Amino acid sequence: MFARGLKRKCWDGDEDVEGAPAAPSYSLQRQSLLDMSLVKLQLCHTLVEPNLCRSVLIANTVRQIQEEMTQDGAWQLPAPPVAGRGPLDHLVSTEILCRAAWEQQGQRPAPDLPSELPGALGAPAPGSAQSCIWEADSSRGHRGSFPKSLDQIFETLESRAPSPVEGLFADAGGPYYDLDAVLTGMVGGKSGPGGGDGLQALAPAGAPPPSASCKRDLGELDHVVEILVET
């Protein structure tokens, strides 16, 4: 489909690995493009407000890539999940990137992650990637409904103690998925992309592997953290 086109376009025919296939695999290129785009969205070099048009175009590109990755069902795990601290560290480091971006965009300075997060959630839809980028005045109305679930999530990540929530996602393949899927499910009424589907797909105990739509949200983990930090 567009696999071939992307190969030629993206890598400008300059990949010549000795003894190996000439071009990196399409999914690797696509992942690399996704990573590059996420970095572009987060980095702000100057004190000037970032260009909204550029941010919108990059965010749309990210969404396109994620949609395609979902359709392919070819979701790449970033790394084998490490029990305990690993995933939490990843969350923290992403948050630091977000925090720098926030402060430069003139948002309320993001408080320190561990102490503030339980009370600081205000983003209505974790499924969307954009809320942290656009502006400061998104709603803070959902503050009340989040803290409990976030506490649960962090307990889950840190202690790996079985919880009803985690039990549902036993086959999901790691804490990343737990966090994202749980948040998506917990928001309830607000329909993040695939949120409702993900939860329903996992409803039966001893769940089958997560649906494709659930996996789509999983890729937006970084943005989930951004949203957490946003308020």
Site residues (vs another protein, CB under 8 A): 2, 5-6, 8-13, 30, 33, 36, 40, 46-49, 51-54, 56-57, 59-61, 64-65, 103, 105-106, 124-125, 128-131, 134-138
Tokens 């407000």 found at: 49
- Closest distance between another protein and the C-beta of residue 2, in Å? 6
Based on CB atoms, which residue is closest to another protein, 67 or 151? Answer: 67
Based on CB atoms, which residue is closest to another protein, 156 or 213? Answer: 213
Closest CA to 149 of 138, 163, 159: 163
Based on CB atoms, which residue is closest to another protein, 172 or 183? Answer: 183
- Dihedral, 163, 168, 171, 173 alpha carbons, nearest 10: -60
- Closest distance between another protein and the C-beta of residue 226, in Å? 11
Q: Which two tokens stand for residue 64?
A: 């396109």
d(CA 85, CA 157): 8
Q: Which two tokens stand for residue 133?
A: 């980028």
Q: What's the burial of 114, exposed, middle or buried (CB within 10 Å: 0-12/13-18/19+)?
A: exposed
User: Phi, psi (5° rounding) for residue 157?
Assistant: -65, -40
d(CA 195, CA 217): 8
- Closest distance between another protein and the C-beta of residue 47, in Å? 5
Long-range contacts of 49-55 (CB under 8 A, 24+ apart): 49/105, 49/106, 50/105, 50/133, 52/134, 55/133, 55/134
Based on CB atoms, which residue is closest to another protein, 17 or 47? Answer: 47
How many Å separate Cα 113 from the centre of its chain? Answer: 17
- Closest distance between another protein and the C-beta of residue 23, in Å? 12
Based on CB atoms, which residue is closest to another protein, 49 or 89? Answer: 49
- Closest distance between another protein and the C-beta of residue 144, in Å? 19
Based on CB atoms, which residue is closest to another protein, 48 or 161? Answer: 48
- Closest distance between another protein and the C-beta of residue 46, in Å? 8
